[in-house]
Amino acid sequence: MDHGKMPMPTGPKCSMNMLWNTQIQDTCIVFRQWHISSTFIFILSFFTIVGLAVLYEWLRLVQHRIDVVIAKDLAKNKGIVSGSMTPQLEEETSLMGRPKAKSGTPIPLPGRLLRAATYGVSIFLSFFLMLVFMTYNAYLILAVVLGAAVGHYIFNADMDVDAVLYGNVPSKSVACH
């Protein structure tokens, strides 16, 4: 029996577009399992992506609040140390033999772990949203941008005017959106 001529059942196909598109059916988002097979799944996916982008903005706020809590705790318990000019190791001196100024205060392990975990989650989420963007699907790109805008509106309702005017505004990190 020749199996080469028998029709084989095929599963859903993911279309891979490398150009701007507005295709809804057969679009896969990041994973083959996240396959848009109907308008309902598309709408559900759209709002899921909006939610992920809002979540990313919330995580940025959480990171800032964690830093504030840690900084206040360090200032309260140990006093603020802006830097040390005494080299402790050979690596801490510059090529010219002068001591390098240490900037910052060491953070205790629990705080470092919490900061690292929230940073890792936010980086994962930002790269995930970048992959959604790379579908080149106009609707999915709109979902990322809309979610980022809504999240920014909700979670950035106030501003440190002095920090903005005098250059102490923290950077946005290596986010992909």
pLDDT in tens, 52-71: 999 999 999 999 999 999 99
Rounded CA-CA distance 45/36 in Å is: 8
Q: In this structure, is residue 89 part of a structural domain?
A: no
Q: Which residue has the tokens 């360090």?
A: 74
| Residue 21, phi then psi, degrees to nearest 5 | -150, 165
Q: CB-side exposure of 80: number of CA atoms within 13 Å? A: 5
Nearest-angstrom CA–CA distance, 68 and 71 = 5
Host domain of residue 156: 24-78+108-165
Q: Quick one: which of 118, 147, 135, 143 has its CA closest to 32? A: 135
Q: Does residue 129 sit within a domain? A: yes
**Pick from 73-77, 92-96, 97-101, 112-116: least confident:** 92-96
- Tell me the three state secondary structure of residue 12: coil
pTM reported for the whole predicted model: 0.76
CA 117, distance to chain mean position in Å, is 12
Q: Is residue 83 part of a domain?
A: no
The domain total for the chain is: 1
pLDDT at 90: 47
Question: Is residue 1 pLDDT above 90, yes or no?
Answer: no
Q: Is residue 142 part of a domain?
A: yes
d(CA 148, CA 176): 11
Q: Is 168 a residue whose pLDDT tops 50?
A: yes
